[in-house]
Amino acid sequence: MSTGAGAATLLEVSGISVSFDGFKAINNLSFSIGRAELRAVIGPNGAGKTTFMDIVTGKTRPDEGSVLWGPMSTNLLKRNEAQIARAGIGRKFQKPTVFEDQSVTDNLMMALKAHRAPWRVLFWRAGARDAARVREVAEQVGLAEQLPRKAGELSHGQKQWLEIGMLLAQEPQLLLVDEPAAGMTLAEREQTTALLVALARDHAVVVVEHDMEFVRRLDCKVTVLHEGSVLAEGSLDHVTADKRVIEVYLGR
Amino acid sequence: MKPGFLSKNPSVLWFLAILACFTLVITLLSHAYGPGVISTSMVKTLGKTLCLCLIAIAMDLVWGYTGILSLGHFAFFGLGGYMIGMWLMYERTRDIVLASAGDFPMTQQEVRDAIGTQIFGVVGGSDLPAIWTFAGSLPMQLLFVVLVPGLLALIFGWLAFRSRVTGVYLSILTQAMTLALSLYLFQNESGLRGNNGLSGLQNIPGLAADQDHSSVWFLWASAFALALGYVLSAAIVSGKFGSVIRGIRDDEARVRFLGYPVEGYKLFVFTLTAVIAAIAGALYYPQAGIINPGEMAPIASIYLAVWVAIGGRGRLYGAVMGAFFVSIVSSWFTGGRVPDLPLGFYTVKWVDWWQVLLGLSFVLVTLLAPKGLSGLVDLLAHIRSPRRGGTPMGPDQGSLQQEEARE
Ligand SMILES: Nc1ncnc2c1ncn2[C@@H]1O[C@H](COP(=O)(O)OP(=O)(O)O)[C@@H](O)[C@H]1O
Ligand SMILES: [Mg+2]
C-alpha cells in the first residue's frame, strides 16, 4: 500500500519475467507506485534493477506479465520507447548519457517538453519562454554558467546533473533515476536527495541507489530486489531488519 | 527563415559569396560571355561539379548529420537524370521526326510511333513503353524527378528503418538497392534503352542557343540549386531538428527515451536527401549529355561517401569542399592531361593510378586529419579545439569521433 498523497496508482507492474539466454534476470516481479511518491529500489549488483527500468521504458520486452500506466490503465507493453516517453515516463541512465557533441543549452532544449514529431520540430523555434525555462532548469542543477559549453567537456558529476536537468525539462509524471549519486561529491549528493524529495511532492520518483546513506536521507519506502524479484518492501528500518535482506545484501 | 539565421550561420554568407564569385568569374571567362579562356567543355565540367557538390550536401545531411551511411544515394541521382532525360530525348526526337516529315501531315499516333522507332530502334524495339506516357510533358517529367526517387526512398526507408536496421547492415542494404536498380536498368525490358541509356541530352528542345551559351546557363542553374540546397540544409541543421538528428547519429536510443520518433526522423532525412540528390542528377545529366545504368553502379555511391569524408563530415561546407576538390582533381587525372610519371622500371599512368591515390588519401585523411579539408577553414579562422579523451561522441556506429567533433 502506498501512503498519503500518492494513493492513486500511477504505474502498476505485475508478474513480469524476462530471461536472457535462459538466465532469469527478472522473475515474477510486481511493483506499483502512486502519483506523488518517492521510492528507493536497492539490491546487490545484477539484481535486475536496471533491467526493471528497461522493461518499464520499453527497451526490453518481458516474456510475461503486464505493465499498466495512468488512470486509463494503458498497456505500456504495446508501446515503443518514444511513445512511452511521451506518455510521461522520463529516465536517467546509470551511465550518464548526454549528447556530448552538443552544448548544454541544446541538450536541455531537446529535452524540453514540446512537440516531438519531425514536422513540428522542423518549424519549431525557441521562444523567450523556452529560453527562460532552459535557464531555470540549468540553475536548478547548477549548470547556469555552463550553458554554452559542449556537454562532452563537462566533468562526470556535471554530466550527471545535466542528465537530471534533461529529466526535469521533460516534465514527466514518473521519473526513473538510475544511480544518480555516482561520481558526485558529498555536497552534491545532499543536493540531489533534496531535489528528489522536492520532486516527489507532485511526481512519482523511483530511485535506484547503492549508497545506504543516500537512501536513508531520501526517507521513503524501500523496495529490495534480489535475483529479479522483490525480496522485501517497507521503510528502510523495516527492510534492513529483515533476515533475508541482511543475508543477501547487507551482510556482505 | 527568421532574421538572425544568417548572423548565427556566418558560413552560409561566406559560402554564397564564394559561389557567386565563382559563377561570375567562370561566366566572364567563358566563350559565350567573355574571351573564351575557359572552354565550353570546361564550363560543363564545372557545372557538373556543382551538381556533385549538391549531392554531397545531401550525403552530409544523411550521413554526417544523421549517421545513416547510405551507399545508395547515386541511385536517386541517376533516377533524377533519367526522368529529365526522358523528356529531353522525347522532345528532341519529336522535333527531328516533325522536321523530316516536312509539310507531310502526320497524325498524333504516327508521330508517337515514329518517335518510338527512333528511340528504341537501337534496342530492337519500336513501341514506346508505358513509362514514356508523359515523356512529352516537361511539367510531368519534372514532377517525376522529385516523385519517383522520393517514393523509392520513402518505401525503402520505411521498410529498413521500421525494422531498425542500422549501421553496416543498412549500408549493405542501400548498396543492394543501387545494384538492383542498375541491373534492372541494364535490361532492355526496363524500357529505358538498357545499357545504351539515354543520349543527346545536351540539346535542349525549344532552345535556339548554342552549347556555348546553354552550358553557361546550366552552370547558373546548378549554382542556384546548390545555393538553395545549402541554405535549406543549413536552416534544417541549425535548429532543434538539427539537434535531434545529430543526437540520433551519436546515440539514437537516448533520443528515443526523450520521446522522439527516431524512425520518422530518419525517414524524413533519407527521403529529403534522396530528392535533393535527384534534383542534382536532373541538372547534371543534361550537362553530361548521356546517362546509362553504369552511372548508378554501387561504386559511385561509395565515392560519394569518400568525398564527404575527405571534405569532413558534419559540416556542409566540408561536403562541398570534398566533392569539389576530389572531382576536379579526378577529372584532371583521368582526363589524361597529367604527364605520366616515369620511374625507370615502371611508368605511372595516372589514368590507372588515380584511384589508388584517391584510396590512399582517403585512408590518410581518416587517420591523420579526421576533420578533412574543412579543417583548413579552422586553421584559417584560428579556431582552437578543446582537448578531451579520444572517444566516440556516442555509442552508435555512425557517431562522430572525438577528433571530428572538435571546433
Ligand atoms: N541485455 C542483456 N543480455 C544478457 N544479460 C543481461 C542483459 N541485461 C541484463 N542482463 C543480466 O541481467 C542481470 C541483471 O542486470 P541489471 O538489471 O543490470 O542489474 P542491476 O542494475 O541491478 O545491477 C545481470 O546478471 C545482467 O548480466
Ligand atoms: Mg544497474
Instruction: Tell me how far the alpha carbon of residue A57 lies from the centroid of ligand 2, in angstroms.
Output: 14
The answer, yes or no, to whether any atom of ligand 1 lies below 6 A from the CB of A2, is no
* Domain A1-88+172-251 class, CATH top level: alpha beta
- Contact map slice: A 56-115 vs B, CB within 8 A: 57, 59, 80-83, 85-86, 90-91, 93, 97, 99-102, 106, 109-111
- Contact map slice: A 134-153 vs B, CB within 8 A: 150, 152-153
Do residue B251 and residue A97 have CB atoms under 8 angstroms apart? yes
Question: Which residues make beta-bridge pairs with B157?
Answer: none
CA B231 to CA B19: how far, in whole Å?
12
- B111-129 pLDDT, tens per residue? 999 999 999 988 887 888 9
| pLDDT confidence of residue B387 | 44
| pLDDT confidence of residue B407 | 54
The verdict on ipTM greater than 0.85 is yes
The answer, yes or no, to whether any atom of ligand 1 lies below 6 A from the CB of A49, is yes
A159 CA to chain B: closest CA distance, Å? 14
A238 CA to chain B: closest CA distance, Å? 34
Higher local confidence (pLDDT), B364 or B399: B364
B241 → closest Cβ in A93, A121, A153: A121
Do residue B243 and residue A110 have CB atoms under 8 angstroms apart? yes
- B62-117 pLDDT, tens per residue? 999 999 999 999 999 999 999 999 999 999 999 999 988 877 888 888 899 999 99
Higher local confidence (pLDDT), A132 or B336: A132
Give the closest ligand to the alpha carbon of residue A22. 1
B385 touches chain A (CB under 8 A): no
Q: Residue B21 has which C-alpha cell?
A: 564569385
Coil vs helix vs strand at A65? strand
Where in chain A are the domains? Answer: 1-88+172-251, 99-171
User: What does the angle CA A51 – CA A53 – CA A56 come to, to the nearest 5 degrees?
Assistant: 115
Phi, psi of B335 (to 5 degrees): -75, -5
The answer, yes or no, to whether any atom of ligand 1 lies below 6 A from the CB of A229, is no
- B155-195 pLDDT, tens per residue? 999 999 999 999 899 999 999 999 999 999 999 889 999 99
Note whether residue B256 is domain-resident: yes
Q: Residue B61 has which C-alpha cell?
A: 545531411
Closest ligand 1 atom number to CA of residue A48: 17
The answer, yes or no, to whether any atom of ligand 1 lies below 6 A from the CB of A48, is yes
Instruction: Tell me how far the alpha carbon of residue A16 lies from the centroid of ligand 1, in angstroms.
Output: 15
Higher local confidence (pLDDT), B392 or B248: B248
CA B61 to CA A193: how far, in whole Å?
42
Confidence at B1, pLDDT banded by 50, 70, 90? very low
Do residue A110 and residue B258 have CB atoms under 8 angstroms apart? yes
**Chain A residue closest in CA terms to B268:** A118
CA B198 to CA B11: how far, in whole Å?
38
Per-position pLDDT tens, chain A of length 252: 444 444 589 999 999 999 999 999 999 999 999 999 999 999 888 899 999 999 999 999 999 999 999 888 999 999 999 999 999 999 999 888 999 999 999 999 999 999 999 999 999 998 999 999 999 999 999 999 999 999 999 988 889 999 999 999 999 999 999 998 887 888 888 989 999 999 999 899 999 988 888 899 999 999 999 999 999 999 999 998 888 888 877 555
Q: Residue B249 has which C-alpha cell?
A: 547519429
Give the closest ligand to the alpha carbon of residue A49. 1
The answer, yes or no, to whether any atom of ligand 1 lies below 6 A from the CB of A228, is no
**Chain B residue closest in CA terms to A124:** B240
Confidence at B365, pLDDT banded by 50, 70, 90? confident
Amino acid at A119: W
Q: Residue B103 has which C-alpha cell?
A: 509539310
Confidence at B368, pLDDT banded by 50, 70, 90? confident
Question: From start to end of A134-180, where are the E strands?
Answer: 174-178
Higher local confidence (pLDDT), A218 or B2: A218
Higher local confidence (pLDDT), B198 or B334: B198
**Chain A residue closest in CA terms to B396:** A99
Note whether residue B203 is domain-resident: yes
Do residue A152 and residue B400 have CB atoms under 8 angstroms apart? no
Note whether residue B46 is domain-resident: yes
Q: Of all helices (H) and strands (E), which one includes residue A15?
A: strand A9-20
Say if CB A223 and CB A39 are below 8 A apart.
yes
| pLDDT confidence of residue B384 | 54
Q: Give the range of the structural domain holding residue B154, as residue numbers without chain letter.
A: 5-298
> How many structural domains comprise chain B?
1
| pLDDT confidence of residue B4 | 65
B50 CA to chain A: closest CA distance, Å? 27
Do residue A109 and residue B393 have CB atoms under 8 angstroms apart? no
Closest ligand 1 atom number to CA of residue A47: 22
A243 CA to chain B: closest CA distance, Å? 38
Give the closest ligand to the alpha carbon of residue A43. 1
* Closest CA to ligand 1's atom 24: A46
**Location of C-alpha cell 541482511:** A246
| pLDDT confidence of residue B240 | 95
A112 CA to chain B: closest CA distance, Å? 9
